[in-house]
Structure 1
Amino acid sequence: MRRFLKSVMALAAACMTTVSAAQADEMDDILGRGELRIAVQTQGPPVSFVDKNGARTGLAVELAQMMADDLGVKLVVQDYDWKGLIPALLSGKVDMIAADMTPTPQRAAQLLFSRPMFYQETVAVAPKDSPATKWQDLNKSGLTLGATQASSYGEAIKKYMPEATLKEFAGGTAATAQALSSGRLDGMVSDLGNVTSFVDEFGNLKILEGVITREPLAFAVQPNAFHLKLWLDNYVELITADNRLEAKINYWWKTTDWAKDHK
């Protein structure tokens, strides 16, 4: 009997150790180190950029800062080009991708995405003197259209404007808009929130009529980070209910109100 009880106690201790180890997860890591590490693409407003005062800001950055503040931890921001975001997350360098990323089937097969933080309207832009008036006018052989490298914008060009030639830019929307403004492209595709500021900045571009796609944009975590994914979903619910999310989206995404404060 004594030998049996010892065996039972040893088994119970082993089970408790296993449960304890299983309960240690990515949220424990964040709280334990006192840091929320995010990957961003700091290539241009309004999602993530460095403003006139040298401060890193934008919609994604401010949402992540709000999360860190509510968790009582420090926000640590790591900057990558677009194609470097997913590798940074999968390699464990960061806890989360905080970007305007569409949860496509291919990406969702690799990562866990939060509920949509906001939505983007994908539009086309052309030089002001272009004869094109609607995005369908760019679907012509001989035209070269730009998009962020490895983005859903490039996929939209392939799918909806297959007659045109796609050219991708690692520098994101900022690099693509610069190429268009300088005459190296016939058009570009990106989201309305991003291109509005560049159209205002360069002065020689125009947004064409029509919305190509309307896509959800979400933050992403590692494929086994279930607790953090559920926490993110819950957080979106909370900041939707208290209107903090709407206030951030209105300021950064639906208007150019941010420009007077940060440009």
Structure 2
Amino acid sequence: MKKMIQAAALAVSLFAATSTMADTTLQNISKSGELRVCFDAGYMPFEMKAKNGEFIGFDIDLGQMLAKAIDVKFTPVNTSWDGIIPALLTNKCDVIMGGMTITAKRNMQVNFTQPYVVIGQSILLNSKLAGTVTSYRDLNDAKYTIATKLGTTGIVAAERFLPNAKKNKFETTADAALEVSNGKADAFVYDLPFNAIYAAQNKGQVVHLDQPFTFEPLGFAVRQGDADFLNFLNNYLNQIKGDGTYDRIYNKWFKSASWLSKVQ
């Protein structure tokens, strides 16, 4: 029995020593001199591959700014979406910064920062109603016609929040948005990123009410048990949101269409 107790104590001691010796993600980033960021290029305007082969987008800018702030190299790790969490868990990258929605199922595998952007359904409004309609609630009236796309959560949101408005359903996103631009519909209910880009491309014809009225928070993902790195990222987000850096980057990608020429 005494030998068993001694063996158990030795095992605990070795485990503790190994755990203490293991470097944290922050220490590994500092030692390697690089911040490896996983994403799946193709989700506009979060991460895209430009004509010149470079990766650009909202998440890319945030990652580059973070790497610069701690004086390390930004290393992009473009990863297929279905393998992005396994890539993080097997240490192929340090963090996922890829427009990932925070869900309970994903949270069973990774830890998330505070939401760095909230998407959801927003309103693309015909410009003639600018100032008259200032919220999705104002559209809940039989005098308004809402364009929606078949098979999307936009239809669900429109039925739930705007039951009194008339609904016109379309096969494609482009047709639904064009209906608003042409004045044949008063508003289009759809995902915020698309509406933001479309509004930037069609200034004067449509207005984007960019406060989402359904909740879909996006967060950076890190390996579970990495409290120091999680604390670091949350503090970084608080800092850039407070000093205006975040707003500048957000406006660049969500309120301007100047970047589209780099990918089209």
Task: Give the TM interval when normalised to the shorter protein.
Answer: 0.5 to 0.7
Question: Which residue does 1:213 correspond to in 2?
Answer: 214
How much does 1:190 deviate? 6.0
Q: 1:32 to 1:46 in 2, by over 3 A?
A: same
Q: Does 1:51 align with 2:50?
A: yes
For 1:239, give the aligned amino acid.
I
How much does 1:158 deviate? 10
SS at match of 1:99: strand
* Contact 1:110–1:223 under 8 Å retained in 2: yes
Q: Distance in 2 between matches of 1:179 and 1:207?
A: 20
Q: Distance in 2 between matches of 1:235 and 1:64?
A: 11
SS at match of 2:84: helix
* Contact 1:103–1:218 under 8 Å retained in 2: yes
Which ranges of 4 or more aligned residues in structure 1 deviate by more than 6 Å?
A: 13-16, 199-202, 206-210
SS at match of 1:72: coil
SS at match of 1:112: strand
Which runs of structure 2 are paired with 1:140-219 in the superposition (5 Å)? 144-145=150-151, 156=153, 181=174, 191-197=191-197, 213-219=214-220
Question: Which residue does 1:172 correspond to in 2?
Answer: none
Q: Distance in 2 between matches of 1:87 and 1:107?
A: 11
* Percent of residue pairs bearing the same amino acid type: 26
**Which runs of no fewer than 5 residues in structure 2 stay unpaired?**
1-12, 125-143, 160-170, 177-187
Which runs of structure 2 are paired with 1:49-128 in the superposition (5 Å)? 49-123=48-122
What RMSD over aligned residues (CA atoms) do the two structures have, in Å?
Answer: 4.1
Question: Which residue does 2:225 correspond to in 1?
Answer: 224
* Contact 2:195–2:208 under 8 Å retained in 1: no
Q: Distance in 1 between matches of 2:59 and 2:117?
A: 10
- The C-alpha deviation readout for 1:25-57, integer Å capped at 9, x for no partner, is 111111111111111121142111123443211
For 2:221, give the aligned amino acid.
A
- The C-alpha deviation readout for 1:131-175, integer Å capped at 9, x for no partner, is x943xx75xxxx8526xxxxxxxxx4797599xxxxxxxxxxxxx
* Contact 2:201–2:257 under 8 Å retained in 1: no
| Residue correspondences, number | 213
For 1:245, give the aligned amino acid.
Y
- The C-alpha deviation readout for 1:1-39, integer Å capped at 9, x for no partner, is xxxxxxxxxxxx9899557415x2111111111111111
Q: Distance in 2 between matches of 1:158 and 1:107?
A: 26
Question: Which residue does 1:7 correspond to in 2?
Answer: none
Query: Which is further off, 222-231 or 49-58?
Result: 49-58
Question: Which residue does 1:165 correspond to in 2?
Answer: none
